[in-house]
Amino acid sequence: MSDLYLNAALSGALTGLVYGLMALGLSVIFGVVRVVNFAHGEMMTAAMYGAILLSQAFKLDPLVAMAPVAIGMFILGYWLQRGLINSFVTRPEHTQFMLLVAVAIILVNGQLIAFGPNARNVQVDYALDSYQFGSVILDKVRIYAAIAALAVSAALFAFFRFSLTGKAIRACADNFLGAQVVGLDVKRLYALTFGIGAACVGTAGCLLVMLVDVTPAQGPAYTLLAFIIVIVGGMGSLTGALLAGLIVGISEAMAGALFVPSAKSMFTFALLVLVLLFRPQGLLGRTP
């Protein structure tokens, strides 16, 4: 039985890293632009379909397709912010909510028209291979996806920490007025940030499509999952998003192993409730 729990925990942790990358995009967008992207999950399913199309047309492995999909999602996110969302940044939050829910509905139904309702995924040659370490068996795709998620997260951290543009974006997040006073082009930086957040979710989509099937109807479920992870980790905290993704992945797997598999999601919501009750700013969020 202990082998079962160890396998479950490790698999859950690997999946959780991909969840964390997905939520990272949401955290980046909210942390800087202060807009909650209610179309986050739908953007991810769009990226998953992008990976499927590239695999069908050019036989591209999703690990390779990450680059063009991320660029495509960056452009989408950039123009979404610049062309549509920018004028709503200073408006009441409920109007932002309605705008992005409308974007989500358009994305879901567009995917339904383009791809139909049937589940799809990418079958790479190594999809059914696994590594065995003693009594632990881990999927190859899960390991590769987790490593890629960690690498992309590290690159994102490095960008915000060491690059001039990253520092400028952090300045906008810390002090909007101050950033304007020193001459930063805030609108452009907001659009860049939204693009980066979209690129993150695009990358996560390429990784996730190797692990699960995609249907247009899954978008809202991923949006909800991303929200839970960001709230548990702390709104605006990048490390928090990654940590919370890990925790959610492990809790889902362990809940299935220890209790009833069909009640996995229940434990994710229970975790959310506990965090809201005892640490509402999130695990690594700043106390207001």
- The least CB distance from residue 261 to another protein, in Å, is 5
**How many angstroms separate the CA atoms of 52 and 62, rounded?**
8
Q: CB within 8 A of 83, min separation 6: which ones?
A: none
Reduced to 3 states (helix: H, G, I; strand: E, B; else coil), residue 236 is coil
253: contact with another protein by CB under 8 A: yes
Among 90, 92, 132, 288, the residue binding another protein under the rule CB under 8 A is 132
DSSP state of 247: H
8: contact with another protein by CB under 8 A: yes
**How many angstroms separate the CA atoms of 232 and 7, rounded?**
24
- Closer residue to another protein, CB minimum distance, 121 or 193: 121
127: contact with another protein by CB under 8 A: yes
- The least CB distance from residue 62 to another protein, in Å, is 16
DSSP state of 137: E
Q: Which residues pair with 131 in a beta bridge?
A: 138
Number of residues that bind another protein (CB under 8 A): 33
59: contact with another protein by CB under 8 A: no
- The least CB distance from residue 29 to another protein, in Å, is 24
Which value, to the nearest 10 degrees, does the dihedral of the CA atoms of residues 14, 20, 21, 22 take?
A: 110
**How many angstroms separate the CA atoms of 153 and 17, rounded?**
9
4: contact with another protein by CB under 8 A: yes
DSSP state of 81: I
109: contact with another protein by CB under 8 A: no
Q: Which stretch in 4-12, 78-86, 169-177, 182-190 sits in contact with another protein by CB under 8 A?
A: 4-12
114: contact with another protein by CB under 8 A: no
Q: Which stretch in 69-77, 91-99, 207-215, 266-274 sits in contact with another protein by CB under 8 A?
A: 207-215
